Amino acid sequence: MNHGLGARPFFPPEVVVRIKALACELPADTGLPLSRFSRQDLAREVVARGIVAQISGTTIWRWLDEDAIRLWLHRSWIFPRDPQFEQKAGRVLDLYQGCWQDRPLGSDEYVISADEKTSIQARVRIHPTQPTKAGQSMRVEFEYERGAALAYLAAWDVRRAKIFGCCQSTTGIAPFDGLVQEVMSQEPYRHAKRVFWIVDNGSSHRGQAACQRLSKKYSNLMLVHLPVHASWLNQVEIYFSVVQRKVLTPNDFPSLDAVAQRLLEFQSYYEQIAKPFQWKFTRIQLKELLVKLNPHSECVLAA
């Protein structure tokens, strides 16, 4: 059929659907020795399969663009494997909403989000950094000498936007317990009714042993563990992302002591301007996400 000069050929809707479906498959599952498709790869494959006699990569690109199918992108991901993921994550989300076991938190109850940021290096550049000037961005020497590394332990009061932190040569039970002592030895936490500590499953605060260890020292402390691989639900990670952007990038320090000093000075600076994070991810969004990741579990999650 002659479409005329410059006219686009017509493809039935079922052809478009089949090509989009192929684009959403893993190339290795189709028998091709590829990790990702390009539009040219797809064009060759659909012709080889007899789906169409001829098609351009540009046409395929136009169709994929309609559904925001980006063949060249990939994202690292850890899928939930904890059988109690929803239950454990849900109680943390409840704390962010100001309740525990379906009851509102009182004015004398507090929520602390805590974790460690490990292996923070001091990169001593072999040439001084040049500041920004007209027509030129900041210039940071690529080569550097390693000035050792430290760990930054921090505890974020979720409802008061108050930050506690310390720098240590390593992580472990003793450094973490030192951070807990710093917080729990002062008011209002010392005489609070309950202080909930949200933590991940790191070795310094893992499992029932950590719960028993800390509850013996502080009768009003309740350790609340996130599911495995769920640090993204820990609000202190938001603070750590701020630290990474504003303090540690670019990494240009004359010594490890300078790193520690900058971290602690920023901690005081940030506390003066900080506000509680506007956390909007709730149990409802969690349920929707888990169903999306595993459609076969929809009936279970909805029960």
Residues facing residue 244 across a β-bridge: none
For residues 91 and 229, membership in a common domain is answered with yes
Tokens 């990790």 belong to 35
For residues 174 and 228, membership in a common domain is answered with yes
Closest CA to 237 of 180, 198, 288, 193: 198
For residues 148 and 209, membership in a common domain is answered with yes
Supply the pTM of this predicted model.
Answer: 0.83
Q: Is residue 298 part of a domain?
A: no
For residues 149 and 260, membership in a common domain is answered with yes
For residues 28 and 175, membership in a common domain is answered with no
For residues 45 and 100, membership in a common domain is answered with no
Q: Are 200 and 225 in contact (CB under 8 A)?
A: yes
Q: Is residue 2 part of a domain?
A: no
The string of DSSP letters for 250-276 reads S---SSHHHHHHHHHHHHHHHHHH---
For residues 35 and 89, membership in a common domain is answered with no
Q: Is residue 256 part of a domain?
A: yes
For residues 46 and 93, membership in a common domain is answered with no
For residues 60 and 113, membership in a common domain is answered with no
Q: Is residue 299 part of a domain?
A: no
Q: Is residue 232 part of a domain?
A: yes
For residues 49 and 192, membership in a common domain is answered with no
Q: Is the peptide bond before 250 cis (omega within 30 degrees of 0)?
A: yes
CB atoms within 10 A of CB 83: 9
Return the CATH number at 161: 3.30.420.10
Phi then psi for residue 290, to 5 deg, are -65, -35
For residues 97 and 237, membership in a common domain is answered with yes
What is the DSSP-derived secondary structure letter of residue 215?
H
Per-residue model confidence (pLDDT) at position 40:
94
Give the domain-ending residue among 23, 39, 66: 66
Q: Is residue 72 part of a domain?
A: no
Q: Is residue 235 part of a domain?
A: yes
Structural domains of the chain, count: 2
Q: Is residue 3 part of a domain?
A: no
Provide the domain limits for residue 219: 85-129+140-283
Average pLDDT across each block of 10 residues of the chain; the chain has 303 residues. List them in order: 59 95 93 93 95 94 94 86 92 97 97 97 92 92 92 98 96 97 97 98 94 96 95 96 96 95 97 95 92 61 35
Per-residue model confidence (pLDDT) at position 301:
37
